[in-house]
Chain A
Amino acid sequence: MFPAATSRDRLIYIMDLGVLTRVYLLHAAILAPFVLAALVPAIRKGTKKIHTGWIVLILPVLLFLNFLRYLPVVRNDVSETFSLPWIPSLGINFTVYLDGLGLLFALLITGIGALVVLYSIYYLNPEQEAIHRFYLYLLLFMGAMLGIVLSDNMIVLYTFWELTSISSFLLIAFWYERDRSRYGALKSMLITVFGGFAMLAGFVVLHHMTGTWSIRETIAMVGNVQGHPLFLLAMILILLGAFTKSAQFPFHIWLPDAMEAPTPVSAYLHSATMVKAGIYLVARFSPVFAGQAEWFWIVSLVGIITMCYGSILAVKQTDLKALLAYSTISQLGLIMSLFGAGSAAVYYGYGEESMIYTAATMAAIFHLVNHATFKGALFMVAGIVDHETGTRDIRRLGGLISLMPISFTVACISGFSMAGVPPFNGYLSKEMFLEAMVELTHLHIFELGTWGILFPILAFLGSVFTFVYSMILIFKTFRGPLQKEKLGITPHEAPAGMLISPVILAVCVVVLGLFPNVLSYSIIEPAMRSVLPSLVAPGEHFDVHISFWHGFTPALFMTMGVIVLGTVLYLLLNRWKGIYAIYPDKLSWNHMYDSLLRYGEKASRMLTDAYMNRSARNYLVYIFGFMVIVLGAALWRADVLSLMTPDTAPINIYEIVLIALLVISAVAVPFARQRLIAVIMTGAVGYLVTLFFVLFRAPDLALTQMIIETVSVVLFLLCFYHMPELRREVSSRKYRSLNIIIAVSVGVVVTLISLSASGSSSFESIADYFVKNSHDLGGGDNVVNVILVDFRGFDTMLEITVLGIASLGIYSMIQLQLQGRDAGARILYLHRKVTLAPKVPIGRTRKETATVAKNMKQFKSNDVILETSTKVIVFIILTFALYLFFAGHNNPGGGFVGGLMASSALVLLALAFNAETVRRVLPLDYRDIMAAGLSVAYLTAIGSFVFGAPFLSHAFGYFDIPFLGKTELATALIFDLGVFLTVLGVTMTIILQIGEDR
């Protein structure tokens, strides 16, 4: 039965050399579509005269040719694996792997892809459609699909899997102004992404059992996990992913609605490739799950039911594409059931007996290819009919045979192939399918003796209806009377270019029908080895031979029965069609989906409205209440509550006084009647905190806090200009007592946390690490500064980014309003008949700035003494700022403090004279300084890459510089310069902007 394994060692060796030269070529093949997708909009702009499709077409053709070169490689059992690290710490690597199954799909994706792109060039008019979007999405899909079939890592596979869902969503919604398109897009997205999530969960469960994300490694250790209690769960979750993607019953409902996409998309995604991703998944995971009764029953039963159900519903359709959609559902079910049936072979393990049942797997793979050819052609014909007649409604079509002879020929060949009529390829695989289904009744495992008879019956029924809808498709469209009055335009044959792709596919249908063995050892056999690896020894091969004549087998009689019964049913169609109306619409799966969505939306809206009542105070009550409950419960559960902390720091009398002052000034704030008092009391808290920083040996903090408090005073004063006086708050007692209860509980919980944290020593402090290594690793003696710029530099980088964003937020809030671009403000102003200030563009010139500055009333001083002394003091402060900045690495100081100190000098200048003086003395846009600072920080961080070091690595060294002596130079200083500039830019932007606001 097995062809003798010939020694191919030498050949393999040569192949391996070839392999080496092709390292990463597979990665490139996956990524190339993404790269081209990114370039498509630019290409479209650059080449207005050529249809963008011609340029896009090059890629799938090249990829197809490239994948063809791998045919002998997989034929000879040399699987190619290359890996690029992605998240190595989690074992997630971008590992690509090419075997028979992957290659089969890769060829389908690129081959059909090329034909579809060619077809689309004539289908989409570049003057009316956004073709750059179309090709962008299409290429996105192509890359993602290649990623799915070539990835060995499950997480990578999942990523690409979801990417196909997204690109499918985008393509279905290509004509997004249509309601049906959006509805269909959303539906397909919700269902396939739901399945994708289930699949991810299945992968995680598998990973939990095996500890690897690699599919091949999982297959290798499958013996260890089959008895695991979670094994079945993983199987079902993964199958959910496969069934939703491949539109299996009852998840099939998204596919007919996906037909709103342009027809090339339907031909490509929704018949030939994406919907087969689910089948790919089943085939790929067959080595893991095959041989299990649950796998066999779920896959084959769902498949056969889908096959039957889809074909019955297809007959009812009046839209050509809807008919094809149900037909696709049915055919996918057929392939699915064959993979399920083939898995039974694994039950028998390695040996002669199992070989009989591998025929089902062979049929599955063969039909996979056949379906892609005839269904692709049929979709393209449907697109042509739609394009040239203006309708896809079968009731309005007819009599096109003489007008569109070529299209008719293609439709005839593909339609009969789909119906399972000889001599086309569909007949061969259909007969193999029927045979496999009959074979199942002979099996005596999985209780097939009792229930096995279901399969041939359902298969026969499905095949009859398949025959009927194929006939409807061909004859109702092309034969009968031409109804010119019902068509929008005068129909005619499609342009030659549009016919190329369907004709090529139809030729394939015929050639594969006559010479099916072209595929048998080149594609089908290697793919079978991937699906059923346990049944062949390395070097051995399955016996794959497809022949026309098997003798008078049951399958042959079934085929005859299908044709006879199908013809009768087709001819009597009008007599029995009425039974479709019996089934109530309310019970349909679509209706259920719509209701689920509607009620789900309603319920979530009700839930949201229940707690989101637009009152900020309400939300804060939730937040603080939650905080009290969670933290309190955690404290209580962790049992770390210790009220008396051991060996506390000593306290002396003036510290008690300071604490008392702190408490008094804080408590005074809520009681203050005037806003100035409230602000002064808050300021007092701030300055007292500064004193505590001094007490607690935190010189950097003390410095920073002091300057911030000072600058803040200016900020408060500026803002007062716009704010009203405080009023006594009139509110209900309930309202107030709830506030007090929450406030006090937060206080109590925080006190307890503070006591427990300082009292317990559950954890070793990580402080020692920083103290020990600051000098040796960071090259600085000021540990706080070294942490900021080096150890935790990433935090700092993001912190200054946030700062920058805050200042830009302030800037835009003020500027947009100044220019009257804030619509709400404009309406309010116009309503009150307040004339708007003259518009000031954002990038204003010096002269305009001067006029604005004249309006600035806040910055005005007549104090001669202040003016005079400021002239001197500013320089002193600036020098001090520079000192702080440079000293920072070893002594208190650093970028933060330095930047703040420098801005306080400028603020003083603005106070003593006016903001215009500041602008004149330093004609700078402070947003530029901020941007420069951020750039310096980021570039320093990125600069580490040049030296092959990780992000944000720093280097330092000690150099002998004349006059300065031994000086330390560290890259951390450059990073700190970024911090310095950002802080300066941010502070000045904020202060000057608020000052400018009228």
Chain B
Amino acid sequence: MEVWMSIAIGILFAVAVYLILSRSLLRIILGTSILTHGVHLLLLTMSRLKTGAPPLLGEESGTYVDPLPQALILTSIVINFGVTAFFFVLAYRSYIRLKTDDMEEVKRKGGQ
């Protein structure tokens, strides 16, 4: 399972990076969103998958999965929401100001 997940994560990263490098603001934002998903899955996969019960001690299981990446991911999810929202507002504000969502155009107009 880890092997398959690793490949899927690699694809998520590749797609995300490709989107982030593109010229359209919207694609860039979507790219960061996908990048976050990739990172979350990466964190989980790195700590091995399905090695035990959910980290709820009430389950009375012998082994539990690693709770640490889960804690990291949880905050990351919420932060990501805040950051994505911030990006969005930044993006459409700059669109309204500069009348373009093309990064090359933004570069040209910003230099004036």
Contact = CB atoms under 8 A, between A and B. Distances in A.
Contacts of A807: 82, 85
Given A614-B107, A666-B11, A697 B17 contact: no
A726 B95 CA distance: 13
Given A742-B17, A765-B66, A754 B10 contact: yes
A656 B102 CA distance: 38
B101 to A, nearest CB: 6
A757 B26 CA distance: 33
A964 interface: no
Contacts of B4: 651, 655-656, 659
Contact of A669 (B23, B30, B68, B96): B30
A755 B56 contact: no
Contact of A771 (B5, B67, B74): B67
A832 to B, nearest CB: 9
B54 A754 contact: no
Which range holds the interface residue count of chain A? 35 or more
A38 interface: no
Interface string A748-776: 10110111011100000111001100110
A817 B57 CA distance: 51
Choose among B11, B17, B75, B107 the residue with the greatest number of A CB atoms under 10 Å from its CB: B17
A598 interface: no
A802 interface: yes
Interface stretch (A51-59, A134-142, A781-789): A781-789
Interface stretch (A20-28, A559-567, A701-709): A701-709
Given A649-B49, A670-B27, A775 B82 contact: no
A896 interface: yes
B85 to A, nearest CB: 5
Nearest to B49: A649
A751 B6 CA distance: 5
A701 B64 contact: no
Given A614-B107, A723-B92, A748-B10, A783 B67 contact: yes
A731 interface: yes
Given A731-B23, A754-B46, A994-B88, A701 B1 contact: no
Contacts of B111: 614
B79 A620 contact: no
Given A669-B30, A701-B74, A813-B93, A729 B22 contact: yes
Contact of A810 (B52, B86, B107): B86
A700 interface: yes
Interface string B40-62: 11101111111111111110000
A651 B11 CA distance: 19
Contacts of A744: 14
A655 B75 CA distance: 26
A731 to B, nearest CB: 7
Contacts of A679: 30
A723 B9 contact: no
B107 A615 contact: yes
Contacts, number: 301
Interface string B86-103: 101111110111000111
Nearest to B35: A746
Nearest to A678: B30
B89 A724 contact: no
Contact of B95 (A644, A723, A759, A796): A723
Interface string B69-90: 0110111011111111110111
A765 B6 CA distance: 20
Interface in B19-36: 19-27, 30, 33-34
Contact of A726 (B27, B49, B75): B27
Interface in A813-836: 813-814, 817, 824-825, 828
B101 A723 contact: yes
Nearest to B83: A806
A320 B111 CA distance: 49
Interface in A663-710: 663, 666-667, 669-670, 675, 678-679, 682, 685-686, 689, 692-693, 695-701, 704-705, 708
A803 B7 contact: no
B68 A803 contact: no
B44 to A, nearest CB: 5
Contacts of B64: 767, 771, 783
A754 B18 contact: no
Choose among B13, B15, B33, B49 the residue with the greatest number of A CB atoms under 10 Å from its CB: B13
A758 B97 contact: no
Given A696-B65, A705-B77, A722-B92, A784 B33 contact: no
Contacts of A614: 107, 110-111
B46 A784 contact: no
Choose among B8, B9, B33, B78 the residue with the greatest number of A CB atoms under 10 Å from its CB: B78
Contact of A806 (B51, B52, B68, B86): B86
Given A739-B18, A754-B6, A810 B85 contact: yes
Choose among A616, A693, A748, A997 the residue with the greatest number of B CB atoms under 10 Å from its CB: A616
Nearest to A729: B23
A341 B88 CA distance: 70
B55 A771 contact: yes
A616 B108 CA distance: 12
A890 B89 contact: no
Interface in A981-998: 983, 986-987, 990, 993-994, 997
Contact of A712 (B23, B54, B75, B84): B84
A986 to B, nearest CB: 6
Contacts of B3: 644-645, 648, 755
Contacts of A742: 17, 21
A810 to B, nearest CB: 5
B97 A754 contact: no
A315 to B, nearest CB: 54
A780 to B, nearest CB: 8
Contacts of A900: 78
A621 B89 CA distance: 24
A45 interface: no
B77 A784 contact: no
A666 B84 CA distance: 18
A733 B84 CA distance: 30
A711 interface: yes
B90 A813 contact: yes
A928 interface: no
A269 B69 CA distance: 55
Given A615-B107, A649-B1, A771-B55, A796 B75 contact: yes
Contacts of B6: 751, 754-755, 758
Contacts of A896: 74-75, 77-78
A965 to B, nearest CB: 16
Nearest to B80: A708
A72 interface: no
B54 to A, nearest CB: 4
A697 B41 CA distance: 13
Given A669-B30, A719-B92, A727 B24 contact: yes
Given A666-B11, A675-B26, A715 B52 contact: no
Contacts of A825: 96-97
B8 A787 contact: no
Contacts of B10: 747-748, 750-751, 754
Contacts of B84: 712, 715
A759 B5 CA distance: 13
A685 B12 contact: yes
Nearest to B25: A723
Given A723-B25, A765-B66, 6 more contacts: A678-B27, A744-B14, A767-B66, A771-B64, A783-B64, A803-B78
* 3 interchain residue pairs of minimum CB distance: A747-B14, A751-B10, A722-B92
12 contacts: A655-B4, A663-B11, A667-B11, A692-B41, A712-B84, A723-B91, A750-B42, A757-B46, A758-B2, A771-B55, A803-B82, A997-B89
Interface of B: 1-15, 17-27, 30, 33-34, 37-38, 40-42, 44-58, 64-68, 70-71, 73-75, 77-86, 88-93, 95-97, 101-104, 106-107, 110-111
